[in-house]
Amino acid sequence: TQAPVNVTVTGAAGQIGYALLFRIASGQLLGPDTPVKLRLLEIPQAVKAAEGTALELEDGAFPQLAGIDIFDDAKQAFAGANVALLVGARPRTKGMERADLLEANGGIFKPQGEAINAGAADDIRVLVVGNPANTNALIAQSHAPDVPAERFTAMTRLDHNRAVAQLAKKLDAPVGEVRKLTIWGNHSASQYPDIFHAEVAGRNAAEAVNDEKWLAEEFIPRVAKRGAEIIEARGASSAASAANAAIDHVHDWVLGTAEGDWTSMAIPSDGSYGVPEGLISSFPVVCKGGKYEIVQGLEISEFSRGRIDASVGELAEEREAVKKLGLI
Ligand code: NAI
């Protein structure tokens, strides 16, 4: 039998953590044959709540769950980690300026990056979920110089899944028939969900939709602002769908994307598609053999170019802001 994979989850007592941990324990992150050991990181005040979740995980009697350890110290939590899901973050509160938000998150993601650098396993893969996810990932990555930069990723899979579902609905097709959709840029309202290369039941999606007004005025803003729509309806932010997307992101990264399809991941740019090198920006990627690769050679229309540039521009501004604050 295989040795257990160490999966570190931060913000374990939060609402995404609650949905995420059971999915991991049930074998959905790395496949049913891979045992996992959970390493939960919380702030001291929330350790007790994390312990409560651990009791419930025990009560799940999951055959794949090889153990649970709980920490309030990042160095310990990331020791030996093979997969790290960085969910815990400092949310924006009323009256908080962007610089304050970035600074508060720098206080979380800098020490976590250092801890990953110090003690994670050689094959460590990091997914940042906590917002502002792309820039938090950049902060963590910049404090882990011994870890290959490409191991630091941020989550745009929820946006990707939302876009797939909205497109399927529009064309009255099953979601399983949608392929090759792309989220470009930042996980924020500036993101660009691109259907020009997407296929629905083998047809080009943009041609099948054939409605640029719907695309510009309904689809793109609906996907980009879906988070706010959920908060409005549920009285709380997306949790189970975010956990689901985190599972999808890591699952596909490790086990591969389906033949003839790709997915969206925010990853350190290598300069492809004019995205400045080093920015952690969302791209279309194919995963194989535990590695991802940016899908090359897509033709970018003027409609798409302006939207990609706007979102990437926002990422560049965020990078400048955290540089100024001395966080990277
Ligand atoms: P939550 O507030 O329910 O839970 C966050 C947890 O993180 C809390 O238990 C808190 O104690 C913990 N935490 C705070 N600082 C920590 C630290 N330094 N180390 C370890 N744990 C720490 O929030 P929720 O709903 O679970 O969301 C978590 C994050 O995910 C938020 O930043 C949210 O904006 C983001 N998010 C990202 C999405 C994406 O698509 N990328 C989608 C939905 C949410």
Q: Would the CA dihedral through 150, 31, 81, 325 be positive or negative?
A: positive
- The span from the CA of 80 to the CA of 74, in Å, is 12
Phi-psi region of 202 (alpha: psi -120 to 50; beta: other; left: phi over 0): left
For the chain, the helix, strand and coil percentages under 3-state DSSP, each to the nearest 5: 45, 20, 35
Q: Annotated catalytic sites, by residue?
A: 187
The pTM of the whole model exceeds 0.80: yes
pLDDT tens-place string over residues 62-73: 999 999 999 999
**Residue 29: exposure state from Cβ atoms within 10 A (0-12, 13-18, ≥19):** buried
Average pLDDT, the chain: 97
- Averaged pLDDT, 302-315: 98
- Averaged pLDDT, 213-235: 97
Pocket lining: 280 vs ligand 1, CB cutoff 6 Å = no
Ligand 1 center from residue 43 Cα (angstroms): 11
Ligand 1 center from residue 13 Cα (angstroms): 9
- The span from the CA of 325 to the CA of 328, in Å, is 8
C-alpha distances (whole Å) from 228 to each of 191, 233, 284 are 14, 9, 25
Q: Contact 4/36 with Cβ under 8 angstroms?
A: yes
Q: Contact 15/91 with Cβ under 8 angstroms?
A: no
Atom number in ligand 1 closest to CA 239? 25
**Residue 72: exposure state from Cβ atoms within 10 A (0-12, 13-18, ≥19):** middle
pLDDT level of residue 48 (50, 70, 90 thresholds):
very high
Give the CB-side neighbour count of residue 4, counting CA atoms within 13 A.
19
pLDDT higher than 80, residue 1: no
- In a mutational test of the pocket of ligand 1, which residue from 18, 78, 109, 129 has the highest number of ligand atoms less than 8 Å from its CB? 129
| Dihedral over alpha carbons 57, 59, 63, 69 (to 10 degrees) | 40
Question: pLDDT at position 208, please?
Answer: 98
Say which CATH topology domain 157-317 has: L-2-Hydroxyisocaproate Dehydrogenase; Chain A, domain 2 (3.90.110)
Question: pLDDT at position 257, please?
Answer: 98
> Residue 67: phi, psi to the nearest 5?
160, 160
Tokens of 162: 């939302």
Nearest Cα residue to atom 30 of ligand 1: 130
Tokens of 147: 């870890």
pLDDT level of residue 184 (50, 70, 90 thresholds):
very high
Residue with tokens 């153990």: 67
pLDDT level of residue 23 (50, 70, 90 thresholds):
very high
pLDDT level of residue 94 (50, 70, 90 thresholds):
confident
Ligand 1 center from residue 172 Cα (angstroms): 34
**Binding-site entries for NAD(+):** 11-17, 105, 112, 129-131
Question: pLDDT at position 98, please?
Answer: 85
The reply to whether domains 5-154 and 157-317 share a CATH topology is no
Residue 234's contacts (CB-CB under 8 Å, 6 or more residues apart) are: none
- In a mutational test of the pocket of ligand 1, which residue from 131, 157, 161 has the highest number of ligand atoms less than 8 Å from its CB? 131
* Residues in the chain, overall count: 328
**Residue 302: exposure state from Cβ atoms within 10 A (0-12, 13-18, ≥19):** exposed
Tokens of 274: 């004019």
Tokens of 250: 């890591």
pLDDT higher than 90, residue 60: yes
Ligand 1 center from residue 16 Cα (angstroms): 7
Which segments of the chain does DSSP mark as H helices, in order? 15-25, 47-59, 74-78, 98-119, 133-142, 157-170, 205-209, 212-214, 220-224, 226-234, 240-255, 302-324
pLDDT level of residue 2 (50, 70, 90 thresholds):
confident
Peptide bond into 132 cis (omega under 30): yes
Atom number in ligand 1 closest to CA 129? 41
Nearest Cα residue to atom 27 of ligand 1: 16
Question: pLDDT at position 183, please?
Answer: 98
Atom number in ligand 1 closest to CA 11? 7
pLDDT level of residue 93 (50, 70, 90 thresholds):
confident
- Averaged pLDDT, 9-30: 98
Question: pLDDT at position 191, please?
Answer: 98
Q: Where are the domains of the chain?
A: 5-154, 157-317
Pocket lining: 46 vs ligand 1, CB cutoff 6 Å = yes
Nearest Cα residue to atom 35 of ligand 1: 130
> Which architecture characterizes domain 5-154 according to CATH?
3-Layer(aba) Sandwich (3.40)
Pocket lining: 16 vs ligand 1, CB cutoff 6 Å = yes
